[in-house]
Amino acid sequence: MTGTALNLLRRVFGYPFFRGDQEAVVAHLLAGGDALVLMPTGGGKSLCYQIPALLRPGLAVVVSPLIALMRDQVAALRQLGIAAAALHSNLAPGEAGAVFRQVDEGALNLLYVSPERLLTPYTLEWLSRRSLALLAIDEAHCVSQWGHDFRADYLGLGILKERFPGVPRVALTATADPPTRLEIIKRLRLDEARVFVGGFDRPNIRYRITIKNQPHDQLHAFLRAEHAGNAGIVYRLTRKSVEETASWLMKRGLRALPYHAGLDPELRQKHQDRFLNEEGIVMVATIAFGMGIDKPDVRFVAHLDLPKSVESYYQETGRAGRDGLPADAFMTYGMDDVVLLRRFIENSQAEEEFRRIEHHKLEALLGLCESVECRRGILLRHLGETMEAPCGNCDTCLEPIPTWDGTEPVRMALSCIYRTGQRFGVHYLVDVLRGQKTERVLSFQHHTLQVFGMGADRSAAAWRSVFRQLVARGLATVDVTGFGGLGLAEACRPVLRGERSVLLRLDPDEPKPGRERRIRRERGFETAEADEPLMRALKATRRHLAKEQQVAPFIIFQDATLQGMIDSRPETLTEMERIPGVGSRKLERYGEIFLGVLRTGQPYPS
């Protein structure tokens, strides 16, 4: 059967070999087993259930969280000649009726369905009378990460085990640390499932984290230097900041669009469609955007605020470079982000245990930000994977961060927190240490304290770095119920008693915005300058065909496939078919067109 699966992979999907655990997962599902599949974004999770869906008798049902994701996946499968449809709450009655009829007539191979639509009594009863090939639960981390307060229907999917006994079930995700895996298994009742962990490393993504200092200017410098004209996502924490950043970028000539839950649904959908169907759009968004986006040519993901956890950061940055080509993850952060996120956690309606876990996750993220180690190594270690050596493709590897013995400044900072009453924020504490006789300092009589002016020899930026690292290391706490005042944590006692030294990262004084030194990039997959006109012609042809069919350009061919055409310069259909991502159906529909572009260098129609 695995030979048949390999033939299907080559003939229909256009890939010469299985990657990683794909073949083992396919064989396990074909044999009727349950599975939990963890693979990095872009690692080919969809093939793990799509190929068994075509080889097993009956209808494959795929639970998917967002309409955009279902729409793109259905469009991509139809391009390959595979009968697929989607069923969700936004369909008009006539459209939903047509899907039901297709299933009743046995005309579909795969049915994508939203969790809330699947769990209605009518749908469950209707499917129970059908022969099912398998049940796939995509984005399974929603069961844990968001199921509590975002997509509660995911928590009810455990019922599938008893409603469809004997039907193999597979849960798939790119983001799940060991505790999350256990929760997925528990809630989906996958106790006997085989767990496939295909690795989380995304070596094509370069991670870069920097101290926040006028983040709009920092972002603009990053985009101007490295991503002019590229598609990307900029994440902000609030709707207001999304609007501000999108407006700021548009005034500087970038094609930026806002996306958040407060926008009119039609406008939100319009912006999402433009991002998918046009090239070079920068989407500025809250985390409401992204999980359902299957756009392979996102070249960067930038966070101008802290995400809520390492898992969130990994998942959100994973939306860049899905095609395997080089991409960037850029983030700025500061103390204000920490205060705001802690406040969000405390104001959550979730149970106390859940809030405690969220605080731990935030502390782990701060550790990633403040570390001098390889960023990728820390990310992978958090997800239960170990790297043998530093990656060489993150900021701390490319530009190692020096450290210094900060024991005495740390003791000064802790003493200042204590002597001012453990209720003031960083900026005020820095003023006291540097001996600034501001109106507030004088009004509280803190100019009379022994610590006043004790740190006058250090810059304000240097002291902000010390306080930020105190919080990140758990030596100081942040009061999220008030105005972000700092307090002493139990862990600081050995430091104050002189029993423990503290090694800090040496942050430079905050650079002027836009002046950050560019990290030299060695891109192994970029189109050579001499081939740029041909790549533009191929992309123009792709855009024309996509517009004709009203699908996203990457549904026709991904950038990596176009690059493959340039690298191999096929002259016949047989040679074209060998390029990964072509396949027999696309060869039949588009082969001669793209061969013509390669021969003439002119876009179709010329």
* Residue predicted with more confidence, 61 or 507: 61
How sure is the predictor about 72, in pLDDT bands with cuts at 50, 70 and 90? confident
Tell me which H or E stretch contains 48.
helix 45-55
Domain co-membership, 575 together with 596: yes
The CB density around residue 142, as the number of other CB atoms within 10 Å, is: 26
pLDDT computed for residue 482 by the predictor: 65
Kindly state whether residue 565 falls inside one of the protein's structural domains. Answer: yes
pLDDT computed for residue 516 by the predictor: 41
* Residue predicted with more confidence, 562 or 478: 562
Strand positions, DSSP E, 223-292: 232-235, 256-259, 282-285
The CB density around residue 476, as the number of other CB atoms within 10 Å, is: 24
Give the tens place of pLDDT for each residue, 319-378.
999 888 899 999 999 888 888 888 888 887 777 877 777 877 888 888 899 888 899 999
**Least reliable range by pLDDT among 70-74, 326-330, 406-410, 430-434:** 70-74
pLDDT computed for residue 512 by the predictor: 45
Domain co-membership, 104 together with 36: yes
Residue 204 tokens, joined = 């094509």
Q: Quick one: what percent of the chain has pLDDT higher than 70?
A: 93
Domain co-membership, 188 together with 242: no
Helix, strand and coil in the chain, % to nearest 5: 50, 10, 40
- Please choose, from the candidates 547, 528, 532, the residue with its C-alpha nearest in 3D space to the C-alpha of residue 605: 547
**pLDDT of residue 525 exceeding 90:** no
Q: Strand order of the sheet with strand 327-333?
A: 205-211, 327-333, 300-303, 232-235, 282-285, 256-259
Residue 123 tokens, joined = 């749908």
Per-residue H/E/C for 508-522: CCCCCCCCCCCCCCC
Cα 200 to chain centroid distance, Å, stands at 12
Kindly state whether residue 430 falls inside one of the protein's structural domains. Answer: yes
Tell me which H or E stretch contains 366.
helix 352-370
| CB neighbour list of residue 567: distance below 8 Å, 6 or more residues apart | none
Kindly state the average pLDDT of the residues 218-225: 95
Kindly state the average pLDDT of the residues 190-205: 91
CA–CA dist 374, 397 (Å, integer) = 6
pLDDT computed for residue 524 by the predictor: 43
- Please choose, from the candidates 58, 60, 51, the residue with its C-alpha nearest in 3D space to the C-alpha of residue 24: 51
**pLDDT of residue 151 exceeding 60:** no
- What average pLDDT does the structure give for the chain? 89
Kindly state the average pLDDT of the residues 155-159: 87
Give the tens place of pLDDT for each residue, 381-399.
888 888 889 999 999 999 9
Kindly state whether residue 520 falls inside one of the protein's structural domains. Answer: no
Give the tens place of pLDDT for each residue, 451-463.
999 999 999 989 9
For 85-93, which contacts have Cβ atoms below 8 Å and span 24 or more sequence positions?
85/110, 85/111, 85/112, 86/111, 86/112, 86/113, 87/111, 87/112, 87/113, 87/114, 87/117, 87/123, 88/112, 88/113, 88/114, 88/117, 89/114, 89/116, 89/117
Output the domain CATH number for residue 572: 1.10.150.80
Domain co-membership, 265 together with 361: yes
pLDDT computed for residue 515 by the predictor: 40
Domain co-membership, 470 together with 392: no
Contact 77, 198 (CB under 8 A): no
Number of domains comprising the chain:
4
Domain that holds residue 350: 205-398
How sure is the predictor about 421, in pLDDT bands with cuts at 50, 70 and 90? very high
208 three-class SS: strand
> In this structure, which amino acid lies at residue 548?
E
Kindly state whether residue 381 falls inside one of the protein's structural domains. Answer: yes
Domain co-membership, 247 together with 389: yes
Kindly state the average pLDDT of the residues 82-101: 90
pLDDT computed for residue 251 by the predictor: 96
Cα 328 to chain centroid distance, Å, stands at 12
Tell me which H or E stretch contains 503.
strand 503-505
Give the tens place of pLDDT for each residue, 176-194.
778 888 889 999 999 999 9
Q: Strands 110-113, 194-197: parallel, antiparallel or unpaired by DSSP?
A: unpaired
Give the tens place of pLDDT for each residue, 232-275.
999 998 999 999 999 999 999 999 999 998 999 899 889 988 99
Residue 54 tokens, joined = 């075509």
The CB density around residue 485, as the number of other CB atoms within 10 Å, is: 21
558 three-class SS: coil
Output the domain CATH number for residue 466: 1.10.10.10
Domain co-membership, 373 together with 343: yes
Residue 460 tokens, joined = 């304000």
Domain co-membership, 393 together with 426: no
Cα dist. 52→1, 58, 61 in Å?
A: 10, 11, 12
pLDDT computed for residue 521 by the predictor: 41
pLDDT computed for residue 509 by the predictor: 61
CA–CA dist 183, 136 (Å, integer) = 17
Contact 188, 138 (CB under 8 A): no
* Residue predicted with more confidence, 516 or 410: 410
How sure is the predictor about 480, in pLDDT bands with cuts at 50, 70 and 90? low
Contact 334, 211 (CB under 8 A): yes
Of 398, 419, 441, which residue constitutes the final position of a domain?
398
Kindly state whether residue 515 falls inside one of the protein's structural domains. Answer: no
Q: Assign residue 85 a region (left: φ > 0; alpha: ψ between -120 and 50; beta: otherwise).
A: beta
Kindly state whether residue 252 falls inside one of the protein's structural domains. Answer: yes
pLDDT computed for residue 152 by the predictor: 64
The tokens 């078919």 sit on which residue? 577
**pLDDT of residue 163 exceeding 50:** yes
**pLDDT of residue 573 exceeding 90:** yes
Q: Assign residue 88 a region (left: φ > 0; alpha: ψ between -120 and 50; beta: otherwise).
A: beta
Q: What's the burial of 526, exposed, middle or buried (CB within 10 Å: 0-12/13-18/19+)?
A: middle
Contact 43, 174 (CB under 8 A): yes
Give the tens place of pLDDT for each residue, 15-47.
999 998 999 999 999 999 999 999 887 788 999
**pLDDT of residue 523 exceeding 50:** no
Of 364, 398, 432, which residue constitutes the final position of a domain?
398
Q: Which residues of 185-196 are buried (b: 16+ CB within 10 A; e: fewer)?
A: bebbbbeebeeb
Domain co-membership, 296 together with 431: no
Output the domain CATH number for residue 324: 3.40.50.300
Kindly state whether residue 161 falls inside one of the protein's structural domains. Answer: yes
Contact 28, 194 (CB under 8 A): yes
Domain co-membership, 426 together with 391: no
* Residue predicted with more confidence, 7 or 71: 7
Domain co-membership, 595 together with 487: no
Domain co-membership, 379 together with 458: no
Of 471, 505, 539, which residue constitutes the final position of a domain?
505
Give the tens place of pLDDT for each residue, 423-443.
998 999 999 999 999 999 999
Kindly state whether residue 518 falls inside one of the protein's structural domains. Answer: no
Give the tens place of pLDDT for each residue, 284-317.
999 767 655 778 899 999 999 999 888 889 989 9
Cα dist. 163→103, 267, 490, 518, 605 in Å?
A: 18, 39, 51, 56, 52
* Residue predicted with more confidence, 336 or 53: 53
**pLDDT of residue 149 exceeding 50:** no
The CB density around residue 222, as the number of other CB atoms within 10 Å, is: 21
**pLDDT of residue 520 exceeding 50:** no
pLDDT computed for residue 528 by the predictor: 76
